Protein backbone atom coordinates (compact mmCIF):
# COMPACT_ATOMS: atom_id res chain seq x y z
CA UNK A 1 0.00 0.00 0.00
CA UNK A 2 1.41 3.41 -1.00
CA UNK A 3 2.56 5.39 2.06
CA UNK A 4 1.04 8.60 0.66
CA UNK A 5 -2.24 7.11 -0.53
CA UNK A 6 -5.68 7.76 0.94
CA UNK A 7 -6.12 4.00 1.48
CA UNK A 8 -2.98 3.85 3.65
CA UNK A 9 -3.97 6.74 5.91
CA UNK A 10 -7.61 5.68 6.18
CA UNK A 11 -6.48 2.16 7.17
CA UNK A 12 -4.05 3.63 9.73
CA UNK A 13 -6.85 5.79 11.18
CA UNK A 14 -9.09 2.69 11.40
CA UNK A 15 -6.37 0.73 13.23
CA UNK A 16 -5.83 3.51 15.77
CA UNK A 17 -9.58 3.89 16.35
CA UNK A 18 -9.99 0.11 16.72
CA UNK A 19 -7.18 0.04 19.31
CA UNK A 20 -8.85 2.87 21.23
CA UNK A 21 -12.36 1.43 21.14
CA UNK A 22 -11.06 -1.94 22.37
CA UNK A 23 -8.79 -0.34 24.99
CA UNK A 24 -11.28 -0.42 27.85
CA UNK A 25 -10.37 -3.91 28.96
CA UNK A 26 -6.67 -3.12 28.77
CA UNK A 27 -7.08 -0.17 31.12
CA UNK A 28 -9.14 -2.23 33.56
CA UNK A 29 -6.62 -5.09 33.52
CA UNK A 30 -3.69 -2.74 34.11
CA UNK A 31 -5.50 -1.00 36.98
CA UNK A 32 -6.58 -4.22 38.69
CA UNK A 33 -3.24 -5.97 38.31
CA UNK A 34 -1.21 -3.11 39.79
CA UNK A 35 -3.62 -1.91 42.47
CA UNK A 36 -1.87 -3.61 45.43
CA UNK A 37 1.58 -2.26 44.63
CA UNK A 38 3.14 0.81 46.28
CA UNK A 39 2.58 3.91 44.16
CA UNK A 40 6.23 4.16 43.13
CA UNK A 41 6.06 0.61 41.69
CA UNK A 42 2.67 0.96 39.99
CA UNK A 43 4.13 3.12 37.19
CA UNK A 44 6.89 0.57 36.50
CA UNK A 45 4.37 -2.30 36.49
CA UNK A 46 2.19 -0.43 33.98
CA UNK A 47 5.12 0.42 31.70
CA UNK A 48 6.83 -3.00 31.68
CA UNK A 49 3.57 -4.93 31.67
CA UNK A 50 2.41 -2.92 28.68
CA UNK A 51 5.76 -3.35 26.88
CA UNK A 52 5.50 -7.14 27.26
CA UNK A 53 1.84 -7.19 26.23
CA UNK A 54 2.51 -5.04 23.16
CA UNK A 55 5.46 -7.20 22.08
CA UNK A 56 3.23 -10.29 22.16
CA UNK A 57 0.45 -8.42 20.37
CA UNK A 58 2.76 -7.22 17.56
CA UNK A 59 4.03 -10.76 16.95
CA UNK A 60 0.50 -12.22 17.10
CA UNK A 61 -0.90 -9.55 14.74
CA UNK A 62 1.90 -10.03 12.19
CA UNK A 63 1.30 -13.79 12.35
CA UNK A 64 -2.43 -13.32 11.73
CA UNK A 65 -1.66 -10.93 8.82
CA UNK A 66 0.35 -13.73 7.19
CA UNK A 67 -2.33 -16.34 7.94
CA UNK A 68 -5.00 -14.20 6.27
CA UNK A 69 -3.30 -14.97 2.95
CA UNK A 70 -4.47 -18.59 3.36
CA UNK A 71 -7.67 -19.30 1.36
CA UNK A 72 -10.94 -18.75 3.28
CA UNK A 73 -9.25 -17.34 6.40
CA UNK A 74 -10.26 -13.80 5.40
CA UNK A 75 -13.87 -15.02 5.35
CA UNK A 76 -13.51 -16.78 8.72
CA UNK A 77 -11.74 -13.77 10.24
CA UNK A 78 -14.39 -11.42 8.84
CA UNK A 79 -17.25 -13.47 10.29
CA UNK A 80 -15.48 -13.63 13.66
CA UNK A 81 -14.95 -9.88 13.59
CA UNK A 82 -18.67 -9.33 12.88
CA UNK A 83 -19.39 -11.25 16.09
CA UNK A 84 -16.79 -9.17 17.98
CA UNK A 85 -18.38 -5.95 16.65
CA UNK A 86 -21.79 -7.14 17.88
CA UNK A 87 -20.44 -8.23 21.28
CA UNK A 88 -18.78 -4.82 21.71
CA UNK A 89 -22.27 -3.31 21.86
CA UNK A 90 -23.88 -5.86 24.17
CA UNK A 91 -21.00 -7.25 26.24
CA UNK A 92 -21.23 -7.32 30.00
CA UNK A 93 -17.61 -8.03 30.82
CA UNK A 94 -16.54 -8.92 34.34
CA UNK A 95 -12.97 -8.93 35.49
CA UNK A 96 -13.30 -10.89 38.72
CA UNK A 97 -10.54 -13.31 37.75
CA UNK A 98 -7.86 -10.63 37.42
CA UNK A 99 -5.75 -11.10 40.52
CA UNK A 100 -3.78 -8.13 41.82
CA UNK A 101 -0.09 -8.87 42.21
CA UNK A 102 1.73 -8.28 45.49
CA UNK A 103 5.11 -7.88 43.80
CA UNK A 104 6.23 -5.93 40.76
CA UNK A 105 6.95 -9.10 38.76
CA UNK A 106 3.56 -10.66 39.64
CA UNK A 107 1.74 -7.55 38.43
CA UNK A 108 3.76 -7.38 35.19
CA UNK A 109 3.12 -11.08 34.54
CA UNK A 110 -0.63 -10.66 35.21
CA UNK A 111 -0.88 -7.70 32.82
CA UNK A 112 0.93 -9.60 30.03
CA UNK A 113 -1.03 -12.87 30.44
CA UNK A 114 -4.43 -11.19 30.81
CA UNK A 115 -3.83 -8.87 27.85
CA UNK A 116 -2.72 -11.79 25.66
CA UNK A 117 -5.81 -13.78 26.63
CA UNK A 118 -8.21 -10.89 26.07
CA UNK A 119 -6.49 -9.32 23.05
CA UNK A 120 -7.59 -11.76 20.33
CA UNK A 121 -10.35 -9.39 19.20
CA UNK A 122 -7.84 -6.57 18.85
CA UNK A 123 -5.37 -8.77 16.94
CA UNK A 124 -7.98 -9.92 14.41
CA UNK A 125 -9.39 -6.41 13.96
CA UNK A 126 -5.99 -4.77 13.40
CA UNK A 127 -4.81 -7.55 11.07
CA UNK A 128 -8.01 -7.19 9.03
CA UNK A 129 -7.74 -3.40 8.82
CA UNK A 130 -4.09 -3.63 7.71
CA UNK A 131 -4.92 -5.79 4.65
CA UNK A 132 -1.55 -7.54 4.80
CA UNK A 133 0.56 -4.39 5.23
CA UNK A 134 3.20 -5.02 7.93
CA UNK A 135 4.13 -1.32 8.16
CA UNK A 136 0.51 -0.44 8.92
CA UNK A 137 0.37 -2.99 11.75
CA UNK A 138 3.55 -1.71 13.38
CA UNK A 139 2.73 2.00 12.89
CA UNK A 140 -0.83 1.55 14.17
CA UNK A 141 0.30 -0.25 17.32
CA UNK A 142 3.19 2.16 17.99
CA UNK A 143 0.86 5.17 17.75
CA UNK A 144 -1.97 3.53 19.69
CA UNK A 145 0.00 2.12 22.63
CA UNK A 146 0.96 5.40 24.34
CA UNK A 147 -2.58 6.67 23.81
CA UNK A 148 -4.05 3.46 25.24
CA UNK A 149 -1.74 3.44 28.28
CA UNK A 150 -2.07 7.09 29.23
CA UNK A 151 -5.39 8.00 27.66
CA UNK A 152 -7.56 4.91 28.08
CA UNK A 153 -9.05 6.08 31.39
CA UNK A 154 -10.18 9.32 29.74
CA UNK A 155 -11.48 7.37 26.75
CA UNK A 156 -13.51 5.07 29.03
CA UNK A 157 -15.10 8.16 30.62
CA UNK A 158 -15.96 9.51 27.16
CA UNK A 159 -17.51 6.17 26.18
CA UNK A 160 -19.61 6.12 29.35
CA UNK A 161 -20.75 9.68 28.68
CA UNK A 162 -21.31 9.42 24.92
CA UNK A 163 -22.88 6.07 24.04
CA UNK A 164 -22.65 6.79 20.32
CA UNK A 165 -18.84 6.32 20.46
CA UNK A 166 -19.31 2.60 21.12
CA UNK A 167 -21.74 2.34 18.21
CA UNK A 168 -19.26 4.19 15.99
CA UNK A 169 -16.53 1.78 17.10
CA UNK A 170 -18.74 -1.20 16.38
CA UNK A 171 -19.46 0.28 12.95
CA UNK A 172 -15.72 0.56 12.23
CA UNK A 173 -15.24 -3.08 13.26
CA UNK A 174 -18.18 -4.14 11.08
CA UNK A 175 -16.72 -2.15 8.16
CA UNK A 176 -13.34 -3.87 8.68
CA UNK A 177 -15.05 -7.27 8.85
CA UNK A 178 -16.97 -6.64 5.62
CA UNK A 179 -13.78 -5.49 3.86
CA UNK A 180 -12.03 -8.68 5.02
CA UNK A 181 -14.80 -10.76 3.47
CA UNK A 182 -14.72 -8.79 0.18
CA UNK A 183 -10.94 -9.29 0.08
CA UNK A 184 -11.33 -13.07 0.30
CA UNK A 185 -9.69 -14.41 -2.86
CA UNK A 186 -12.79 -16.39 -3.85
CA UNK A 187 -14.93 -13.21 -3.85
CA UNK A 188 -12.38 -10.46 -4.58
CA UNK A 189 -12.73 -10.54 -8.39
CA UNK A 190 -16.52 -10.24 -8.21
CA UNK A 191 -16.46 -7.31 -5.77
CA UNK A 192 -13.72 -5.53 -7.77
CA UNK A 193 -15.83 -5.80 -10.92
CA UNK A 194 -18.99 -4.65 -9.14
CA UNK A 195 -18.22 -1.64 -6.89
CA UNK A 196 -21.92 -1.08 -6.18
CA UNK A 197 -22.29 -4.65 -4.85
CA UNK A 198 -19.10 -4.14 -2.82
CA UNK A 199 -20.35 -1.02 -1.04
CA UNK A 200 -23.90 -2.36 -0.68
CA UNK A 201 -22.52 -5.45 1.07
CA UNK A 202 -20.36 -3.33 3.42
CA UNK A 203 -23.22 -0.96 4.31
CA UNK A 204 -25.65 -3.86 4.91
CA UNK A 205 -23.16 -5.57 7.28
CA UNK A 206 -22.68 -2.33 9.24
CA UNK A 207 -26.44 -1.76 9.52
CA UNK A 208 -27.12 -5.37 10.59
CA UNK A 209 -24.45 -5.31 13.33
CA UNK A 210 -25.50 -1.94 14.78
CA UNK A 211 -29.23 -2.76 14.55
CA UNK A 212 -28.71 -6.18 16.19
CA UNK A 213 -26.72 -4.61 19.02
CA UNK A 214 -29.26 -1.84 19.55
CA UNK A 215 -32.20 -4.29 19.56
CA UNK A 216 -30.40 -6.64 22.00
CA UNK A 217 -29.66 -3.74 24.36
CA UNK A 218 -33.29 -2.61 24.14
CA UNK A 219 -34.58 -6.09 24.98
CA UNK A 220 -32.15 -6.43 27.89
CA UNK A 221 -33.09 -2.98 29.17
CA UNK A 222 -36.82 -3.84 29.07
CA UNK A 223 -36.16 -7.11 30.91
CA UNK A 224 -34.20 -5.27 33.60
CA UNK A 225 -37.02 -2.75 34.02
CA UNK A 226 -39.61 -5.53 34.35
CA UNK A 227 -37.53 -7.30 37.00
CA UNK A 228 -37.12 -4.06 38.89
CA UNK A 229 -40.88 -3.44 38.83
CA UNK A 230 -41.57 -7.01 40.00
CA UNK A 231 -39.23 -6.50 42.97
CA UNK A 232 -40.95 -3.25 43.88
CA UNK A 233 -44.37 -4.92 43.70
What's the pLDDT score for residue 221? Answer: 87
Chain-wide mean pLDDT for the chain?
77
State residue 193's pLDDT score: 93
Distance from C-alpha of 201 to C-alpha of 79, rounded to nearest angstrom: 13
Q: Where is average pLDDT lowest: 65-69, 150-154, 172-176, 198-202?
A: 150-154
pLDDT at 1 over 90: no
Pick the range with the lowest mean pLDDT from 22-26, 33-37, 62-66, 98-102: 98-102
Q: Enumerate helices (H) and strands (E) in the chain, giving the number of each.
A: 10, 0
Task: With beta carbons less than 8 A apart as the criterion, state whether 168 and 155 touch.
Answer: no
Closest-CA residue to 57 (of 4, 133, 107, 112): 112
pLDDT at site 216:
93
What DSSP character marks residue 100? P
pTM of the model: 0.68
Q: Rg (Cα) of the chain, in Å, rounded? A: 19
Are the C-beta atoms of 24 and 152 separated by less than 8 Å? yes
Per DSSP, the residues of 23-35 read -HHHHHHHHHHHT
Amino acid sequence: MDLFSVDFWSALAAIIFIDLILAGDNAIVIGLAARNLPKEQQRRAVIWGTVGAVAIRVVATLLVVQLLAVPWLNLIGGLLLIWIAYKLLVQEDTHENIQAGNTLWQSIRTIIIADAAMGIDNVIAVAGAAHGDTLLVILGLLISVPVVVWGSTLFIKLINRFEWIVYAGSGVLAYTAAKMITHEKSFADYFERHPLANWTFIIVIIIIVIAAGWLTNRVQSNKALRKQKEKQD
